[in-house]
Amino acid sequence: MKQVFIVRHAKSSWADPSLDDIDRPLNKRGKRDGPFMARKLAELVPHVDMILCSPARRARDTCKYFVKEIEVGRVTIDDAIYHAWPERIIERLQSLDEEVRSAMVFGHNPGLTSLYNHFSEEYLDNLPTCGIFELECSGKWSEMDPSNTSAKQLLYPKQFLL
């Protein structure tokens, strides 16, 4: 069984309109939710073999919180993840070595919400910032598709921070 944990970056700041989109940092809420959700996921998942992370600052900063809490084999900053649609993310996952048993992807909406809906029987309108869902694949990475992969647990900050 292959596992992939998909993480939407934590809430980002729009305070400086002169910044390029790729350079936007996390805002106060993002800096609160990122470490919190990293600890929550670490309770369930102590180790992943690899991380694919968007090069956007907000995704990289979110990723750092998770790397502090979860043992990670390796981290790859992957330009293909930046604002990727499901097809691109699936393509990247399908290219993983078979030795990789578990992975995480740090990316962006609307692509991540669409990815959830591609693999889930339940419709999700919007994956919240710092939201996480798991994909389980019973086949090889190269064969990953809805016939052998399904969306599992969905976690997001407001479930815990009421």
Residue pLDDT, tens place only, 113-162: 999 999 999 999 999 999 999 999 999 999 999 999 999 999 999 998 65
Which residue ranges form the domains of the chain, and what is each CATH number?
A: 2-12+22-160 (3.40.50.1240)
Which is nearest to 111 in space by CA: 131, 82, 133? 82
Give the neighbor-by-neighbor strand order of the sheet with 2-8.
Answer: 71-77, 47-53, 102-107, 2-8, 132-137, 149-155
3-state helix, strand, coil in the chain (%, to 5): 40, 25, 35
In this prediction, residue 7 has a pLDDT band, given cuts at 50, 70 and 90, of: very high
